[in-house]
C-alpha cells in the first residue's frame, strides 16, 4: 500500500482506526437518568449515570443517587436495598421489570422530609439470550420494609438505545 509508506499516511490510518473505535464506544454507552413521579411514593429517587454493554451484561453505573421521603407519609421508612432492571411492556400493555441486577443491600432509615445521598454504585444485568433492547428502559427499584413484608418504589429511565446490543 502506497499510503502506508509515508509517515503522514500511517498517521492518517492510525487516526482513522482510533476515531472508529471511539465512535463505536460512544454508541455502546448511554447516559441515563432515573426519575420518580413527584412525591408519588413514600420513598422517591433521582439518579444519573451511564449504561453500557459489557459482554453478556448491561453495566449500569449510578454516579449520583438521592432518595427522599415523601412529606405526606409520617412513618419513617427502612430501606432494605436497591437494584436495577430492564423493563418493557407485557401482552396486556402494562410495564413490568424483566432481567435484574442483584440487590445492593442497605440499612438506611429515612424520615419524613429527609433526603439521603447514596454512594456511587455499579449494577450488572445479565442480557445473554435477549435478542433486542428495542422498546426497553431501565427501572431503579428500592426495596423497603412494608408491614411484616417488603414493598417497592420505582424510578424509570428513558428508553434504551437499540445500538446497545451490538
Look at residue 154 and tell me whether its pLDDT is greater than 70.
Answer: yes
- Which grid coordinates are listed for 166? 451490538
Instruction: Look at residues 149, 138, 134 and name the one whose alpha carbon lies nearest to residue 45.
Output: 138
Domain ranges for the chain: 30-165
CA atoms of 99 and 30, how far apart (whole Å):
18
**Which residue is it, cell 417488603?**
150
Q: What is the mean pLDDT of residues 114-143?
A: 93
Between the CA atoms of 43, 66, 85 and 122, what dihedral angle is there, to the nearest 10 degrees?
-150
Structure confidence by residue, pLDDT tens digits, 68-103: 998 888 999 999 999 999 999 999 999 999 999 999
Q: What is the model's pLDDT at position 19?
A: 40
Q: What is the mean pLDDT of residues 23-51?
A: 82
Q: Does domain 30-165 have CATH number 2.60.40?
A: yes
Look at residue 39 and tell me whether its pLDDT is greater than 50.
Answer: yes
Whole-prediction pTM = 0.79
Amino acid at each position: 500500500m502506497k499510503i502506508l509508506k509515508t509517515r503522514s499516511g500511517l498517521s492518517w490510518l492510525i487516526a482513522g482506526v482510533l476515531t472508529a473505535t471511539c465512535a463505536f464506544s460512544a454508541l455502546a454507552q448511554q447516559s441515563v437518568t432515573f426519575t420518580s413521579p413527584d412525591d408519588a411514593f413514600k420513598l422517591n429517587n433521582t439518579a444519573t449515570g451511564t449504561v453500557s454493554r459489557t459482554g453478556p451484561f448491561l453495566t449500569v453505573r449510578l454516579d449520583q443517587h438521592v432518595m427522599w421521603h415523601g412529606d405526606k407519609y409520617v412513618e419513617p421508612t427502612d430501606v432494605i436495598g436497591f437494584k436495577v432492571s430492564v423493563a418493557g411492556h407485557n401482552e396486556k400493555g402494562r410495564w413490568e421489570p424483566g432481567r435484574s441486577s442483584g440487590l445492593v443491600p442497605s440499612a438506611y432509615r429515612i424520615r419524613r422530609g429527609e433526603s439521603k445521598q447514596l454512594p456511587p454504585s455499579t449494577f450488572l444485568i445479565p442480557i445473554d439470550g435477549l435478542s433486542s433492547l428495542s422498546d426497553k428502559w431501565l427501572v431503579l427499584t428500592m426495596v423497603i420494609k412494608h408491614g411484616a413484608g417488603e414493598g417497592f418504589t420505582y424510578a424509570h429511565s428513558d428508553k434504551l438505545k437499540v445500538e446497545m446490543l451490538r
